[in-house]
Amino acid sequence: MQFQLPISIKKSENKITYRDAIFLIGSCFTEYIGNSLAEAKISVFQNPSGILFNPQSVCETLIATIKNKKVDENNLFQLNEVWHSWNHHSRFSHVDKKACLENINTTQTNSHHFLKNADWLIVTLGSAFCYKLTSNAQLANLSVGGCVANCHRAPANWFTKSLLEVDEINNLLINLNKELNAFNPKLKIIFTISPVRHVRDGVVENNRSKARLIESVHSLINKYETISYFPSYELLIDVLRDYRFYDIDLVHPNFMATEFVLQKFVETYMSQEQLGLMEELKKIAIAKKHKPFHPSTNSHKEFLNKQVENIKSILQRYSYLNLQEDLNYFKAEVDK
């Protein structure tokens, strides 16, 4: 008896390897993928402005990254004793203006250099809704009508909410692709739509929003061979299709669901050899988290020595991997 609708995902001809660098940007689902890849020792850089949902903010952030555009005091505003940027997530906000600027600009420089040399860009779009500043936003240093990346819990009358048109999104993505091609011609781009449902917009409105994103992304893919689509959204909505795969808020996918999507992703974009290496490295990561009840026992020492030998064995086969931190950790634990 079949309990899931089968979905055929074509294997990518271009493969992600452990020599590659991956830049990720977009919604919170981006960070599920990015954190998992980072734990598996793949070189990643994600969300230089923090979590982003709408395509306009994603495109503007990437173009600012390409141009290494710096933020100055005029780009910040103070609300509830904290300095913020409309173009950045609240994790960049700070009570000290100088610290806020330094954090933003240091991250911008690092992201510029990483994107210049990256092999892959993964873009996860979350919503086609955009919040634009009104004339009530007295503390804002963006022009009225500007689309913000984060509302920072500012008063509701500072914003008007609008649903981006498909043509608007198309133009944003086409222009972004041109900028990326000029900046880093070797860059391969993967688009995906976040399966996180924005139910606060309304169920019907969320579906309209996701539909516009899907239509625009596929319009772009049909034009450019270097761009592909990974069906994160479809894997949750059409394959798993069950609230047991969601967190308690019934909106965000839970651990089991995100692991399912990640497994499909790596199977699509990685070779069998690289998948095998990933499994070995995951075991090292799990071993590093192990907390023994009796650390002084011989059996635990044997466990630690085994990890040291495993890392040395991996480095003999893949000398380009950076596992020195892990090797030092287990050696130090052995010597305790």
Whether residue 101 is found in the same domain as residue 242: yes
Whether residue 131 is found in the same domain as residue 219: yes
3-state SS, residue 217:
helix
Residue 255 lies in a domain: yes
pLDDT of 144 above 60: no
Q: What is the mean pLDDT of the chain?
A: 92
pLDDT digits (tens, 9 = 90+) for 245-288: 999 999 999 999 999 999 999 999 999 999 999 999 999 999 99
Whether residue 83 is found in the same domain as residue 205: yes
Whether residue 37 is found in the same domain as residue 173: yes
Residue 276 lies in a domain: no
d(CA 12, CA 270): 8
pLDDT digits (tens, 9 = 90+) for 151-169: 999 999 999 999 999 999 9
d(CA 273, CA 270): 8
Residue range 179-202: mean pLDDT, rounded: 94
Residue range 103-118: mean pLDDT, rounded: 97
d(CA 305, CA 285): 15
Whether residue 44 is found in the same domain as residue 176: yes
Residue 1 lies in a domain: no
d(CA 198, CA 220): 24
Domain stop point among 270, 293, 311 = 270
Q: Which residues pair with 160 in a beta bridge?
A: 132
Whether residue 111 is found in the same domain as residue 235: yes
Whether residue 261 is found in the same domain as residue 307: no
Residue range 53-67: mean pLDDT, rounded: 96
pLDDT of 145 above 70: no
Confidence of residue 18 (pLDDT cuts 50, 70, 90): very high
Residue 161 lies in a domain: yes
Whether residue 150 is found in the same domain as residue 290: no
| pLDDT at res. 159 | 92
Residues 7 and 239: beta-carbon distance below 8 Å: yes
Domain total in the chain: 2
CATH number of the domain where residue 131 is located: 3.40.50.1110
Residue 307 lies in a domain: yes
Whether residue 144 is found in the same domain as residue 224: yes
Domain stop point among 270, 295, 324 = 270
Whether residue 149 is found in the same domain as residue 231: yes
Residue range 3-29: mean pLDDT, rounded: 91
pLDDT of 143 above 90: no
| pLDDT at res. 7 | 81
pLDDT above 90 as % of the chain: 81
pLDDT digits (tens, 9 = 90+) for 70-82: 999 888 999 999 9
| pLDDT at res. 140 | 52
| pLDDT at res. 335 | 83
Whether residue 151 is found in the same domain as residue 264: yes
| pLDDT at res. 135 | 79
Residue range 2-20: mean pLDDT, rounded: 88
Residue 3 lies in a domain: no
pTM above 0.75, yes or no: yes
- Give residue 305's domain range: 281-335
DSSP 143-183: -TTPEES--TT--GGGEEEEEPPHHHHHHHHHHHHHHHHHH
Residue 275 lies in a domain: no
CB neighbour burial string for 87-108, b if at least 16 within 10 angstroms, e if fewer:
bbbeebbbeeeeebbebbeebb
Domain stop point among 270, 293, 326 = 270
| pLDDT at res. 199 | 87
Return phi, psi of residue 98, to 5°.
-60, -40
Whether residue 160 is found in the same domain as residue 129: yes
Residue 11 lies in a domain: no
| pLDDT at res. 138 | 58
